[in-house]
Amino acid sequence: MAPWEKYLIEHKERFMNELFDFLRIPSVSALAEHADDVARAARWVEERLKAAGIESVTVMPTGGHPVVYGEWLHAPGKPTILVYGHFDTQPVDPVELWDSPPFEPTIRGNRIYARGVSDDKGNMFIPIIVAEAILKTGASLPVNLKFLFEGQEEIGSPQLPEFISANKQLLRCDMVLSSDGAQWAEDQPMVVLGTRGLAALFIDIRGPGHDLHSGTYGGTIANPVHALVHILDTLHDHEGRITVDGFYDDVRPITDEIRAKLAELPYDEAQYLEETGSPRTFGEPGYTTYERAGLRPTLEINGLYGGFQGEGLKTVLPAAAHAKISCRLVADQDPGKIIDLLVRHVEKVAPKEVKAAVTGNPSGAIPYLIPPDYAGLKTASAVLKDIYGKEPYRVYMGGSIPTNALFLEHLGAYTIVFAFGQLDELQHSPNEFLRISGYEKGQKAYGHLFQRLGKE
């Protein structure tokens, strides 16, 4: 066992306590009232990087939530690796469904439960302590490392494109390792060949100036909720196809080769349903679940509300109704163009008797694909195979990691997703957790990957 591996085991308890401190910070980037907590999480990361022996550590403003940068560049002739992750989290609602408080990390069985533990605090913590372990036991890292941790991934990283573009020199690297992602299963690694893009918009319908008595005015004034459900119902057909003109125009067809490869991946429908608690799978006809999740675009209503939501009945004709929508995009769709199509669609179908406002979410994500034969992917695959004893699956992820495309665009560097949560760990849901086994495998994997990249 290498000295850095011993160090990780010897300081296990301290590291777990530190991770718990990190998880206790309710750094929910979507909610203005938690902005200070996001900033606090940034300062926590800053201090933690410094303690690990990383240099030039600094919290940098972005105009939105801050980022944290740090570096260790004393391996001349060796590749420079940029490690990416995020210290913000999703909101916690519905909070009543949590078995333990979301920001009070709790170990039950072999799992750590907390909001953000799998996405992404637990994962981004790993390369920091691995760097510490190597530095404290050997005084030198096998590669040059840069760290970039951000605080607004969960709201689509609105200021990050500008930040990366403005700091190309600082961030220059040969490859990116993203700690934001997951492994296939406890005993099965994977590498990511692509991530979906993201485009989101908000629809706000206004009718009367205030909620009206539905007895007095019902039948004489248009109900904004009726208008909203009509608009939303025009977005899909009954089989789940998206019915927005031009939506599929730029979608790259799935080749027979890719289809065949995807079909080789094990798929257990019963397990998939159990994982989601859903009565059945559903989606665009002519595609498998993996194809739908990884290589086909989606349009999901993430939330809607209008009128009375309390217990029982309140006979109002509501003044307004609202929906939040996001699309997952695939190559070669463009988020801006998709927003335009949706804005046009809503304008076309919105009933004229109400006021419909459509607002594109300023942040999006470009769909991302990595060449299947990229060298760094091979190295990462080899490390994963060593640790798990199995060849990693090669998958297309349904989620979005906007930075993948950004780093490629601005730094010319591909991103390898190298993360050790799992797909079923309720990221974005109540009772999010991280398996301790993944947390520990991740430490080994990062250490070995740094070593191997230093030898190439």
CA atoms within 13 A on the CB side of 437: 12
Short-list 197, 190, 145, 138, CA closest to 172: 145
Show contacts with its own copies in window 292-311 (CB under 8 A): 292-293, 296-298, 300-311
Q: Write out the two tokens for 373.
A: 């034969």
CB nearer its own copies, residue 221 or residue 408? 221
Show contacts with its own copies in window 25-44 (CB under 8 A): 30-32
Cα–Cα dist 342/347, whole Å? 8
Show contacts with its own copies in window 44-63 (CB under 8 A): none
CB of 189 to its own copies, least distance (A): 17
Short-list 247, 165, 192, CA closest to 400: 192
CB nearer its own copies, residue 165 or residue 429? 429
CB of 199 to its own copies, least distance (A): 11
Q: Applying CB under 8 A, which of residues 80, 326, 379, 404 lies at the interface with its own copies?
A: 326
Angle 3-10/122-138 helices, nearest 10 degrees?
120
Q: Write out 171-184 in H/E/C secondary structure.
A: HCCCEEEECCCCEC
CB nearer its own copies, residue 13 or residue 311? 311
CB nearer its own copies, residue 174 or residue 250? 250
- Contact residues for 299 (Cβ-Cβ < 8 A; gap 6+): 235, 236, 242, 244, 247, 325, 326, 327
Short-list 139, 129, 142, CA closest to 179: 129
361 is an interface residue for its own copies by CB under 8 A: yes
219 is an interface residue for its own copies by CB under 8 A: yes
Contact 123, 179 (CB under 8 A): yes
314 is an interface residue for its own copies by CB under 8 A: yes
196 is an interface residue for its own copies by CB under 8 A: yes
400 is an interface residue for its own copies by CB under 8 A: yes
Q: Applying CB under 8 A, which of residues 134, 192, 354, 434 lies at the interface with its own copies?
A: 354
- Contact residues for 283 (Cβ-Cβ < 8 A; gap 6+): 240, 289, 292, 296
> Which region among 1-9, 65-73, 123-131, 225-233 touches its own copies (by CB under 8 A)?
225-233
Q: Applying CB under 8 A, which of residues 209, 253, 266, 285 lies at the interface with its own copies?
A: 209
> Which region among 7-15, 90-98, 121-129, 253-261 touches its own copies (by CB under 8 A)?
90-98
Cα–Cα dist 438/249, whole Å? 40
x/- binding map, residues 124-163, to its own copies, per CB under 8 A?
Answer: ------------------------------xxx-------
Show contacts with its own copies in window 164-183 (CB under 8 A): none
Q: How far is CA 200 from CA 337, 343, 403, in A?
A: 12, 11, 17
CB nearer its own copies, residue 138 or residue 362? 362
CB of 17 to its own copies, least distance (A): 29
> Which region among 7-15, 102-110, 270-278, 408-416 touches its own copies (by CB under 8 A)?
270-278
284 is an interface residue for its own copies by CB under 8 A: yes
279 is an interface residue for its own copies by CB under 8 A: yes
CB of 355 to its own copies, least distance (A): 7
Contact 403, 72 (CB under 8 A): no
> 328-366 burial by CB neighbour count: b if 16+ within 10 A, else e?
bbbbebebeebbebbeebbeebbbeebebebebbebbbb
Cα–Cα dist 212/87, whole Å? 44
Q: Write out the two tokens for 29.
A: 């980037």
Beta bridge partners of 15: none
266 is an interface residue for its own copies by CB under 8 A: no
CB nearer its own copies, residue 135 or residue 395? 395
